Amino acid sequence: VSTIAFVIVLGMLVDDAVVVSEKILLCRQEGLSPADAAVAGTMAVARPVIASAATTLLAFAPMLAIGGMPSKLIWQIPAVVSIALALSLLESFLILPAHMSMVRGNTLPRPKRAFVVRLENAYRHSLERLLPHRGKVIAGFAGILCLIVGIVVPRLEFEFFPQDASPGFAIKVTLPPGTPLEQTEASIDAIQAQLPALMGSDLLALTSRVGHQDAMAIDREYGSAENEGFISAHLVMKKKERVSAEWIEYLRDRLRLPENAEVTFEAQVDGPPGLQPVIVYILANDNLLRRQTALALRQYLESIDGVVDVAMDEREGMRQIDLNLDPERLAKHGLDAQELGLTLKAAFFGLVASELRDLEETTEIRVLFEPAARRSLASLLDAPVRNSRGELVLLRDVVEPVEIPALAKIQHRNGSRAATVTAGFSPSSGHTSTTIAELLETEFMPRYAGRADIELQLGGEVIQSRRATGELGAVAIVVVIGIGAVISIMLGSFLEAFFVIAVVPFSAAFVALTFYLHGMNFSLLPVIGTIGLAGVVVNASIVMVDSVHQAQQEAHGENEIVRTRAMIDALVIRLRPVLVTSLSTFGGVMPTAYGFGGWDPVMSPMSLALGWGLALSAGVTLFLVPSLYVTANDLNRAIARWRERRRPASMR
């Protein structure tokens, strides 16, 4: 996660150094000595650079307030960003100026290259043509934003954590209750023997366990279910032919299964634990109601195209025998339930009859039924029970044995008995955990709404996704308020600060467009990358607006033409650092974004968001921000004229 934070902060670190060094070079071109240029250039941009760092810290700090599993995943990001920005400011304000002041002699820096001059002239001409029509420019960008939000965003699916890098998968095998351990082990060995030939070089290792199906506890070598087991297939990390989900699809129809074996597949989770795609908890203390509901849910999920590996943890176990007491016969023979319980306990677990003691330890002598008698119901029913009168009464005379189906195990959740139903979906199904959850909430779960004897709860990836996105929404509000306050203090205008913040929705929209065009789902990490992108875009906008602000103050009192020319000159000066930051960051993250040298499902989507988002947002910084700034000035002047007209004539 700390590496992810370095990718996010990369553009910000580059931007700070570019802004300071570019201003120092401008001062050198104006004829100042290296030392004087270093001091003057650094001081000229100190305010916007510090403000940019402050807004970035405000953007990332609220992530520490996110609770639940996401906080354990992303807390390192704001920590690394904060440390990196602090060191970047130290380098930009002390080390970089010191290095640039050590240039020997009074040689001026080389003049701008011809293509840079042509680029600046083209930008100048574009501003001269567009700023008089700033309303149309703003309307055009607003139209693009509305199209993306209205058409692209609703079609963009969200998954909490991508599973393309899942390290492997488990094959869970269930045989009929009562199957001996040796037969279960033989069935698992038969399935495991097929995998090397089917998977080839993608297969790194195989492990298997008999007695349980807890694939997360591969080191657990014991269990209580002799008819259950699983095989864990571990994949190579790089250059594999298929990812886990694709291998599951491939093997589903190709494995030869032993007779009566039920098999489900489960991809190992890459990321926080507990993120299975579909999890539904059924809470009810009524065993029959709970099991019927779980079976109905299982049948419903299996009816959805593309949903696979539907499983429930509550399975039928070996049949059990209940000994129903007859109160009349108990009273007739002078017995009670406690005396019968002691007899059954003695039969199966024994009673301490005596002790053997030596110097080191005490050994209990326990008396119980012999194994053959414990395995025979007839022998158990012939067990004598002594009543209160000292008479021996056979157990069969006071109980009625009834054979009923039993559960292999009973789980509990929040104090209630619970069954858990899980499912996955094939990669080609078009489903996500969100779409399956919406189907459950609209079609299945309403059948049990409002009932006191049963409750259905969603779990897994969809709950984490909703919790994270909901808390990120609250974080976004805090971020906008904090950034707006910092910018308004720097510029002295809430209106201008609002227009600077207006670039953030555009950068987020461009990221959404990028993922839509690439056919990729959105996830938590690209969301965090978008926050980092917003920090870079806001940084560039702050420095640009501050440069224009200073130019406007220097041209105060001049006519409109002079003030407009001064503003355009300030904008043109900022062209080079904006492009350097955008292009350097874009070039730095694109190899990772497109997997040159290896695709990483965590780093690559985040790099894609940062790279293309920054490239597309450059147009917002270069054209929309100046248009918004001029519009803000127009509104400020209009408000001033309106206030002037409302003042009494004697006070004018």
Q: Which residues of the chain have pLDDT under 50?
A: none
Same domain, residue pair 429 and 577: no
Same domain, residue pair 178 and 119: no
Q: Report the pLDDT value the prediction gives residue 72, as an integer from 0 to 100.
A: 66
List the CATH number of the domain containing 180: 3.30.70.1430
């929040």: which residue's tokens? 414
Residue 169: partners with Cβ closer than 8 Å, 6 or more residues away: 232, 233, 244, 247, 248, 265, 266, 267, 268
**Whole-angstrom distance, CA of residue 210 vs CA of residue 189:** 10
Same domain, residue pair 643 and 500: yes
Same domain, residue pair 436 and 399: no
Structurally, how many domains does the chain consist of? 3
Q: How would DSSP label each residue in 72-138?
A: HHHTHHHHHHHHHHHHHHHIIIIIHHHHHTT--TTPPPPPPPHHHHHHHHHHHHHHHHHGGGHHHHH
Same domain, residue pair 342 and 293: no
Q: Report the pLDDT value the prediction gives residue 494, as an integer from 0 to 100.
A: 78
CB 82 within 8 A of CB 558: no
List the CATH number of the domain containing 535: 1.20.1640.10
Same domain, residue pair 481 and 572: yes
- Cα dist from 650 to 300, 409, 641, 643, 646, whole Å: 80, 90, 16, 14, 11
Q: Report the pLDDT value the prediction gives residue 243, as an integer from 0 to 100.
A: 81
**Whole-angstrom distance, CA of residue 289 vs CA of residue 297:** 12
Q: Report the pLDDT value the prediction gives residue 67, as an integer from 0 to 100.
A: 58
**Whole-angstrom distance, CA of residue 56 vs CA of residue 10:** 12
**Is residue 410 included in any domain, yes or no?**
no
Q: Report the pLDDT value the prediction gives residue 534, as an integer from 0 to 100.
A: 78
* E strand or H helix at 530: helix 524-554
Q: Running DSSP on this structure, what letter comes out for residue 395?
A: G
Q: Report the pLDDT value the prediction gives residue 62, as an integer from 0 to 100.
A: 65
Domain range for 330 is 320-404
**Is residue 564 included in any domain, yes or no?**
yes
Q: Report the pLDDT value the prediction gives residue 142, as an integer from 0 to 100.
A: 92
Same domain, residue pair 438 and 525: no
Q: Report the pLDDT value the prediction gives residue 191, as an integer from 0 to 100.
A: 94
List the CATH number of the domain containing 398: 3.30.2090.10
**Whole-angstrom distance, CA of residue 346 vs CA of residue 193:** 46
pTM over 0.75: no
Q: Report the pLDDT value the prediction gives residue 326, as an integer from 0 to 100.
A: 85
Q: SS3 for 578?
A: helix
- Cα dist from 573 to 22, 52, 576, whole Å: 9, 18, 7
Q: Report the pLDDT value the prediction gives residue 217, as an integer from 0 to 100.
A: 62
**Whole-angstrom distance, CA of residue 327 vs CA of residue 336:** 8
Same domain, residue pair 456 and 472: no
Same domain, residue pair 580 and 637: yes
Q: Report the pLDDT value the prediction gives residue 293, as an integer from 0 to 100.
A: 94
Q: SS3 for 354?
A: strand
Q: Report the pLDDT value the prediction gives residue 106, as an integer from 0 to 100.
A: 55
Same domain, residue pair 477 and 499: yes
Q: Report the pLDDT value the prediction gives residue 140, as an integer from 0 to 100.
A: 94
Q: Report the pLDDT value the prediction gives residue 363, as an integer from 0 to 100.
A: 86
